[in-house]
């Protein structure tokens, strides 16, 4: 059995164990279309998945949670149709060649976590500033109430990829934006990604990239003053780039913290072509 497959099986087992005990708020949510390279005119099922290390469970369409579920292409933005309670959660028809940007923004959900789980979650997601505030307030041993929102995107390409067709800012509260078309990169070229919070660059946030072929080999970096990180995409397969930002919850929210979970998925058709 190939070594990469053994590593993948090990990662699946570890992720399955983690899913059985980890709090829901500490799970990633991502968009996983039925295909990342549809033909013009094709209808594509758009699935939502929640889990860890790219091992995820289906998230059926829930109208109470959907704030926006859209696709944007050269012709503009339109909502994704879907049936409530169904998986896939939405469907899109590819109207024209180019890069399509799919976006899902959820309404907030409430959760309360024991101190140990909340502290572990802060550590894993790089939320050191929140941990420091809790320590200063002598709240490290206290339970935490949180409102969490999902800000997921996916890039789908129809036809030949071109750097002229790139990712777009959808205006989500927290948003990852690929500053080059990942489908048009060549071997040895980095993918610059920018993290935006309320449409402004977010500095000092942890951004993680992982590939389905081996999600245990994560790339991680903190954003610079302009909200940017760079990743070297060394192989094909589906990529998930993710980040979490947490702020004090608004007054009257019945929670101490509000978190926003951004994700970005794409899948180069093959191993990135050499120069």
Q: What is the pLDDT of residue 6?
A: 47
Q: For the purposes of burial, counting CB atoms within 10 Å of the CB of 138, is it exposed (0-12), middle (13-18) or buried (19 or more)?
A: exposed
Give the pair of three-digit tokens for residue 10: 């090990």
Residue 270 is predicted with a pLDDT of: 63
* Spans of the chain, pLDDT less than 70: 1-26, 235, 270-275
The pLDDT score that the predictor gives to residue 25 is 52
Where do the domains of the chain lie?
3-266
What is the model's pLDDT at position 269? Answer: 73
Q: How many CA atoms lie within 13 A of 31 on its CB side?
A: 35
Output the pLDDT for position 26: 57
The predicted pLDDT at position 162 comes to 86
- Which pLDDT does position 12 carry in this prediction? 41
């Amino acid at each position: 059995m190939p070594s990469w497959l053994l590593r993948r099986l090990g990662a699946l087992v570890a992720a399955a164990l983690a899913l059985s005990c980890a709090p829901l708020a500490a799970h990633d949510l991502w968009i996983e279309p039925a295909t990342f390279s549809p033909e013009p005119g094709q209808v594509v099922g758009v699935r939502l998945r929640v889990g860890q290390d790219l091992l995820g469970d289906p998230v059926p369409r829930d109208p109470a949670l959907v704030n926006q579920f859209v696709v944007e292409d050269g012709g503009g933005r339109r909502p994704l149709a879907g049936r409530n309670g169904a998986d896939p959660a939405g469907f899109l028809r590819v109207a024209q060649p180019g890069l399509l940007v799919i976006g899902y923004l959820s309404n907030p959900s409430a959760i309360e976590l024991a101190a140990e789980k909340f502290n572990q979650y802060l550590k894993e997601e790089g939320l050191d500033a929140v941990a420091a505030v809790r320590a200063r307030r002598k709240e490290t041993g206290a339970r935490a109430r949180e409102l969490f929102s999902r800000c997921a995107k996916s890039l789908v390409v129809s036809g030949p990829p071109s750097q002229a067709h790139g990712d777009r800012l959808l205006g989500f509260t927290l948003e990852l934006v690929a500053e080059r078309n990942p489908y048009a990169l060549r071997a040895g070229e980095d993918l610059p990604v920018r993290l935006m919070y309320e449409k402004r660059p977010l500095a000092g946030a942890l951004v993680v990239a992982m590939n389905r072929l081996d999600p245990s080999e994560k790339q991680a970096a903190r954003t610079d003053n302009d909200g940017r990180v760079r990743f070297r995409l060394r192989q094909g397969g589906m990529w998930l780039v993710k980040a979490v930002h947490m702020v004090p919850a608004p007054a009257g929210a019945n929670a101490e913290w509000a978190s926003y979970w951004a994700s970005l998925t794409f899948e180069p058709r093959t191993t990135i072509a050499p120069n």
